[in-house]
Every structure is written in structure tokens, then in C-alpha cells.
Amino acid sequence: MSDTPPNDALPPTLFLSDADVASLVDWPSAVVALASAYGERASDAMVPPRSMARGDGIWLRSLTAISPAGGHMGAKLIAASPRARRASYLISLFDQQTMALAALIDGNRVTGLRTAATAVLAIDLLAPRRPLRVGVIGSGFEARGALDCLAAMRSLASVQVFSPNPSSRERFAQSFAGSIDVVPADAPERAVSEADVVICAARSRDESPVLRGAWLAAGATVVSLGSTLPEQREVDEETIARAVCVVADVPEEVADGTGDGIAAAHAGLSLDTKLVPLAALVSGDVTPRRSEADIVLYKSVGSALQDIVIAEMLFALAKAKGYGTPLPASIVPVAK
């Protein structure tokens, strides 16, 4: 007999709203879930390249993945109109055993959650085991999420933030009042020059680098989150040259599909000998530093694996805590 339950025995599809997702944010659970997934090493076939359909001023992007650890597979769809400045995000989760649609999730916050949690997974493996001195460049949601997640996972000795807009960095610092002591810095080099960890989540208006390798202290761990396309820049060539190891969530895209990787290649800097996948770091297959003075860089472009793993975590928390709305009807898996 088949272990697959009949359709009428399948649980209803659970819908998680943006408010549900906001209430379910659990940074340690997110980092643990990602560590488990990257430790399992999903094959390339399980996380294929993203695709995009384009129309007249509109586009629809699709990111799909099969989770290696959580029992689901799914997709994140992003529908956007840059002209109208509107976008919608939808994540679907299917049960790998029954093919049932287990959940539909408003994905508005998920990109930020998975970016921050994956960055902190890398930081936790790369940064020294002591209270960390942190420098942040950027004051947007990605910088906020990364610092919030890091504070949930590690002890912080100090935090400085730089944003070119003084009011933005003041607001950023005030938003953490009562939980993290964040000091605004009036220049980027002041924010990062003594930092153990540099979180870079910003780009300049002209796409020139906002982080210079000359500013970095010996032994720094640099995280670059803000430049994910060929036309975007965030860190300069010296940052990449000084890094003895470049950890990437999607190595091919980091090397060939980001402005920072392309600029490094044009400057004659080969990433071949220093670029390693995040999965290899998580599994302990690489030693990123040979000495405490070595600088390392984690560079992220984002992956569907991260989206689906975070969606799985949210789904599990929702079921445990009674969040979400069971849908009165759903799709029916059919015999094929």
C-alpha cells in the first residue's frame, strides 16, 4: 500500500500574511535552519537558476528550490512594475511526499529575512569567538536585519554605523535604542577601521564602491549584501585583493554576475583560488584563514534555497504557534 494519504486526508493549505510573518520572525531558528540546509549540500539541479519574464514595464521573476533538509519544495514569485513602483511576493510550499500545497506565504519580508540570516550564518563561522566590534555601512532594511540577527546570535562589544545622510544614520541608531548601543559615524572609514565585522549593505548613487579595502583592520570579516547585479558596485578591488578567502552563496554569480566580481576580473584579480561556496564553509571543508590577521569576505547575491528554507521555518513556527489562515479550498494532487 502507498504511504501517501488520500486527498481528503491532506491538511488544508495554510496562508501566512505579511503580519503573520512579522510576528513569527525568529533569528536563531532561521540561522539553524539555513545551517542544516547548507550542511546537506543541495545539488545544482535542486536549486536551478532564476528566471524572469518581461513585459512592457513589468516583470515576473521565479526562484525555485527543493529543500535538502525540511521536506518541502517551492517557489518564490516576484511580480513587479518598476514604473508604478509596485511589487508583490508569493512563496508556495509543496510537500515532497504528497505533492500537496502545504502553504502560501506573503513573501514581502522573506528576502530580507533570508539575506540577514544567511549573512549571520557566515559571520558566525568566520568571525572570532569574542564580543564583536561591528561597523555597518548602510541604514536600510538589509543593514537593519543583519545587525538585528547578529545581535540575536553573538555578543556585540560595539557598533558604529555610517550612512551618507546624517538623519538616516541617526534614525538607524535610535531604532536600536534599548537593545543595542549603536553609534553614528560621520565617515565610513571611522565606522569600519577597527571593526572585527563589517556589514556592507549600501550602494552609492553612481555605483562607485562604498567600502575601501584600505580602511579594513587586520583580521576583519567583511559581509557584502548590496551589490547583486553586473551594474552594481559595493566593495572596491582592494577589498577583494586583501581577502584571502571569498565565501559566496552562489559562487558563479558572485564572480561573473556582480559589478564587484567583474571589476576585480578587469583589474587582473583572479577569484579562482580564493572563491569558495558557503556550503563548503558550513561543512568544514575549507579553512578560510591561515592566521588571525587574514581578512575574509562573504558576498551574497541571494538564492532560492534560502527563500524556501526560511519559508519552511515560518511554516513550522506558524503551525506550532497557531498562526495563519487555513484555506477553505486548495489544489488537489492528481495521479500522473
pLDDT in single tens digits along all 336 residues of the chain? 455 566 668 999 999 999 999 999 999 999 999 999 999 988 999 999 989 999 999 999 999 999 998 899 999 999 999 999 999 999 999 999 999 999 999 999 999 999 999 999 999 999 999 999 999 999 999 999 999 999 999 999 999 999 999 999 999 999 999 999 999 999 999 999 999 999 999 988 888 999 999 999 999 999 999 888 888 999 999 999 999 999 999 999 999 999 999 999 999 998 888 999 999 999 999 999 999 999 999 999 999 999 999 999 999 999 999 999 999 999 999 998
Asked if 45 and 68 touch (Cβ cutoff 8 Å), the reply is no
Q: Which residues make beta-bridge pairs with 53?
A: 60
pLDDT at residue number 206: 87
Asked if 113 and 106 touch (Cβ cutoff 8 Å), the reply is no
- Kindly list the structural domains of the chain, giving each domain's residue range(s) and its CATH number in brackets, ordered by start: 7-111+304-326 (3.30.1780.10), 112-299 (3.40.50.720)
Burial 272-298 (b: 16+ CB within 10 A, else e): eebbbbbbebbeeeeebeeeeebbbbb
Question: What are the start-end ranges of the E strands in the chain?
Answer: 14-16, 51-54, 59-66, 72-81, 86-95, 101-106, 132-137, 156-162, 182-184, 197-200, 221-224, 243-248, 275-277, 295-299, 325-326
Question: Is the pTM higher than 0.85?
Answer: yes
